[in-house]
């Protein structure tokens, strides 16, 4: 069986941009939810003095991850914050003192078995850095037997090169992170899947992995969405993750390559997840396309100013890539753990304005492009009829909102969006 997918212009304008460090922002705003699962409760109050790496949010909920301060300074406000999902969580505002005093509790964790490793990963606050923001200590601790760690280094979305920079700037961190995960979780092997448009990363990681027979680097074709979990597992291992299943049901854990590198750094230093590399790119409204290491909670405006963004002309701002990214509503919103890019594009004009959708011409392009060969026109019809049975039969829940269908539709229909509405309808009906 051949999966669908589409060819995209890679636009990896920043692939040769060595990552630099953003000057310390005057303040950060750190939301208490940057992950799938329950939001954290603030552990600090207004006027408290905090240090770098200090835990400032946590919860007893199973599906969650603690949150740490990325700066030293003073808590100036704790308020409600509406996330892109529409849900509300608390947000902690910290005025930086410029000293970046390290929290005295920071030390590399003591590890002697799987339990201590999983506990350490939880304390690190690591959540998926590829965009999914799944708490890593839960992903790394499934009930199922795991025989393969699959490292997602595809970075298939156009523009984004933050994972690539991690791979070429510090490939040894990637390999060390992998070796630790394999050791503590007793996983026999690892496959690192990289798209063929990253030959330098393939070469470096192959070289670094050479002494370790349990790690293999696999070159994958450049077909979007190569980095989608189910697609990656199928292309790397030939295993099918069925509807309703998790990768662990097929004996696989998938982890983003930057997350694996973070594991290495954390085990050595004990410094939790307080910063990350992001790509800043777009069209000509960005004067300095770059990769920068940014403290978590940095306002987007600080990043855009650093990248010499022409804010008068920039209208479309995105967290993440052009296919699956999320609109930035307010330039004062913060960079969070799952953000791998900020993209800016100029205002619509007659030339690049979105054309109006027209009736479906039943060309089948969306079905061919869909990685799982879902049938969007039938899904749209079933959704219009509110036909729950038909939507389940059409496996709408497999839709991962990759956008391939919308991208190829000659009628410019909002195909992926309709599928998301249909999925939400199915979820709400199944809850009743």
Nearer to ligand SF4, 154 or 300 (CB): 154
Considering the complex, what minimum distance in angstroms separates the CB of residue 351 from ligand SF4?
A: 23
Nearer to ligand SF4, 91 or 369 (CB): 369
Considering the complex, what minimum distance in angstroms separates the CB of residue 415 from ligand SF4?
A: 5
227 to each of 3, 54, 59, 158, 258, how far by Cα in Å? Answer: 13, 33, 31, 12, 13
Closest of 265, 194, 181 to residue 226, by C-alpha: 194
Considering the complex, what minimum distance in angstroms separates the CB of residue 324 from ligand SF4?
A: 9
Closest of 92, 71, 76 to residue 23, by C-alpha: 71
Radius of gyration (C-alpha) of the chain in whole angstroms: 22
**Secondary element (H or E) of residue 294:** strand 290-295
Considering the complex, what minimum distance in angstroms separates the CB of residue 397 from ligand SF4?
A: 10
Nearer to ligand SF4, 108 or 358 (CB): 358
Backbone dihedral angles phi then psi of residue 400, each to the nearest 5 degrees? -110, 15
Considering the complex, what minimum distance in angstroms separates the CB of residue 137 from ligand SF4?
A: 28
Considering the complex, what minimum distance in angstroms separates the CB of residue 412 from ligand SF4?
A: 8
Nearer to ligand SF4, 136 or 366 (CB): 366
- b/e map 301-338, b = 16+ CB within 10 Å: bbbbebbebeeeebebbbbbbbbbbeebeebebbbbbb
The C-alpha atoms of residue 370 and residue 218 are separated, in whole angstroms, by: 23
406 to each of 5, 367, 368, 411, how far by Cα in Å? Answer: 12, 11, 12, 9
Considering the complex, what minimum distance in angstroms separates the CB of residue 177 from ligand SF4?
A: 30
Considering the complex, what minimum distance in angstroms separates the CB of residue 55 from ligand SF4?
A: 37
Nearer to ligand SF4, 39 or 371 (CB): 371
Considering the complex, what minimum distance in angstroms separates the CB of residue 381 from ligand SF4?
A: 11
Nearer to ligand SF4, 261 or 415 (CB): 415
Considering the complex, what minimum distance in angstroms separates the CB of residue 403 from ligand SF4?
A: 5
Nearer to ligand SF4, 296 or 374 (CB): 374
The set of residues, in sequence order, having a beta carbon less than 8 Å from that of 28 and lying 6+ positions away, is 69, 70, 71, 93, 94, 96, 295, 296, 297, 298, 299, 334
Q: What is the DSSP string of 60-91?
A: S-SS---EE-SS-EEEEEEEEEE-TTS-EEEE
Nearer to ligand SF4, 217 or 399 (CB): 399
Q: Pairing state of beta strands 148-153 and 189-195?
A: parallel
The set of residues, in sequence order, having a beta carbon less than 8 Å from that of 431 and lying 6+ positions away, is none
The C-alpha atoms of residue 23 and residue 303 are separated, in whole angstroms, by: 9
Nearer to ligand SF4, 212 or 421 (CB): 421
Contact positions vs ligand SF4 (CB under 6 A): 360-366, 369-372, 374, 376-377, 399-405, 408-411, 413, 415-416, 419
Query: For the purposes of burial, counting CB atoms within 10 Å of the CB of 348, is it exposed (0-12), middle (13-18) or buried (19 or more)?
Result: exposed
Q: Which residue has the tokens 């909920």?
A: 61
Nearer to ligand SF4, 108 or 245 (CB): 245
């Amino acid at each position: 069986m051949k999966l669908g997918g589409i060819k995209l212009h890679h636009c990896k304008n920043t692939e040769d941009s060595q990552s630099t460090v953003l000057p310390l922002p005057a303040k950060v705003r750190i939301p208490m939810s940057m992950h799938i699962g329950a939001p954290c409760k603030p552990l600090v109050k207004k006027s408290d003095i905090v240090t770098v790496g200090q835990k400032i949010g946590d919860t007893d909920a199973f599906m969650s991850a603690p949150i740490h301060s990325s700066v030293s300074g003073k808590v100036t406000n704790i308020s409600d914050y509406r996330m892109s999902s529409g849900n509300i969580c608390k947000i902690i505002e910290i005025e930086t003192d410029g000293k970046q005093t390290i929290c005295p509790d920071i030390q590399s964790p003591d590890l002697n078995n799987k339990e201590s490793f999983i506990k350490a990963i939880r304390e690190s606050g690591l959540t998926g850095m590829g965009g999914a923001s799944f708490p890593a200590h839960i992903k790394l601790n499934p009930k199922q037997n795991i025989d393969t760690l699959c490292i997602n280094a595809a970075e298939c979305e156009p523009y984004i090169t933050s994972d690539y920079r991690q791979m070429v700037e510090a490939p040894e961190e990637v390999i060390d992170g992998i070796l630790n995960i394999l050791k503590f979780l007793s996983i026999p092997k690892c496959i690192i899947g990289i798209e063929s448009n990253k030959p330098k990363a393939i070469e470096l990681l192959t070289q670094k992995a050479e002494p370790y027979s349990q790690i293999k680097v696999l070159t994958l074709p450049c077909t979007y969405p190569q980095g989608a979990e189910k697609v990656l597992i199928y292309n790397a291992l030939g295993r099918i993750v069925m509807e309703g299943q998790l990768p662990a049901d097929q004996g696989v854990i998938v982890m983003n390559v930057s997350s694996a590198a973070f594991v290495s750094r954390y085990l050595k230093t004990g410094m939790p997840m307080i910063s990350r590399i992001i790509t800043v790119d777009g069209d000509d409204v960005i004067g300095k396309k770059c990769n920068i290491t940014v403290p978590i909670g940095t306002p987007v405006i600080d990043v855009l100013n650093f990248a010499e963004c022409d804010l008068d002309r920039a209208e479309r701002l995105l967290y993440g890539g052009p296919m699956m990214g999320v609109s930035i509503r307010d330039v004062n919103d913060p960079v969070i753990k799952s953000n791998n890019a900020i993209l800016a594009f100029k205002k619509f004009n007659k030339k690049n304005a979105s054309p109006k959708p027209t009736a479906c011409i039943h060309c089948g392009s969306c079905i061919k492009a869909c990685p799982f060969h879902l049938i969007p026109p039938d899904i749209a019809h079933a959704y219009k009829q509110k036909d729950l049975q038909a939507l389940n039969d059409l496996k709408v829940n497999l839709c991962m909102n990759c956008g391939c269908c919308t991208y190829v539709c000659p009628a410019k229909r909002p195909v992926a969006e309709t599928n998301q509405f249909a999925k939400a309808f199915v979820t709400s009906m199944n809850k009743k």
